[in-house]
Structure 1
Amino acid sequence: MKKIAYFLAILMCLTAIAPSAMAKNEPAKKEPSPEEKARLEQLDERVKEIKTMDFRAMDKEERKEIREELREINKEAKALGGGIYISAGALIVILLLLIILT
């Protein structure tokens, strides 16, 4: 039983320390500016327009161009929008705590 307790203690220490050591020291992302919000709305409108298009009437090249445009819109929206990320170590610690405490 002591071996398991020591192993779990070491594992929790490593998972708690490793993500902070590998983390980038970047400032927290702030609220998007009005220009960025306007650009996101433009991208959203373009995606809605594309969804209403009839793809059966298009030839192969046009569909390919639309697909590439959607990929670019997706990349730009991700860059403007940001997000919240959880490290794998933090996720493991949270899961272990949930299992132990329930």
Structure 2
Amino acid sequence: MKKIAYFLAVVFCFAAFSPAAMAAPEKKDKDKTELSPEEEARLAEINERVDEIKAMDFSEMSKDEIKDVRNELRGMKKEAKAMGQGIYLSVGAIIIILLILILVT
């Protein structure tokens, strides 16, 4: 039974990653563009604000204040992703990683 599970895990890995390896590399403008000084300054402001929020004590805040902070963080996250500073994982990659972890244990 374990041999079949390992075999299927390997097949799924090959099936998931081989199309990406065989595909022609696409040129992405986001990788080649550099941030302007204004964008770098804005990213620094966002990082400082996130550090301030991490240092906050949420037990003393009301639900409305916590909700406002959460919305502010979401907005800053969207803005940072728009500048190309986000990390992206596909759903398929997450599923394959989970399957491999389940099958190995």
What TM-score do you get using the length of structure 2 for normalisation?
A: 0.54
Change beyond 3 A, Cα 1:75–1:84: closer
Structure 2 residue runs without a partner (length 5+):
1-14, 93-105
How large is the Cα RMSD of the aligned pairs?
Answer: 3.2
Between Structure 1 and Structure 2, whose CA radius of gyration is higher?
1
Equivalent of 2:34 in 19, 28, 31: 31
The one-letter code matched in structure 2 to 1:30 is T
Indicate which of 46, 55, 73 corresponds to 2:49: 46
Equivalent residue pairs, number = 73
Q: Give 1:56's aligned residue.
A: 59
Contact 1:55 1:63 in 2 (8 A): yes
Query: What TM-score do you get using the length of structure 1 for normalisation?
Result: 0.55
- Evaluate the alpha carbon distance shift between residue 53 and residue 80 of structure 1 in structure 2; reply closer, same or farther with a 3 A threshold: same
CA 1:34/1:62 → structure 2, altered by over 3 Å: closer, same or farther? same
Unaligned runs of 5+ in 1: 1-10, 89-102
Cα distance, 1:85 vs structure 2: 7.1
* Percent sequence identity over aligned pairs: 51
The Cα of 1:80 is off from its aligned counterpart by 1.2
Distance 1:42 1:77 in 2: 11
Contact 1:32 1:81 in 2 (8 A): no
Residue 76 of structure 1: aligned partner: 79
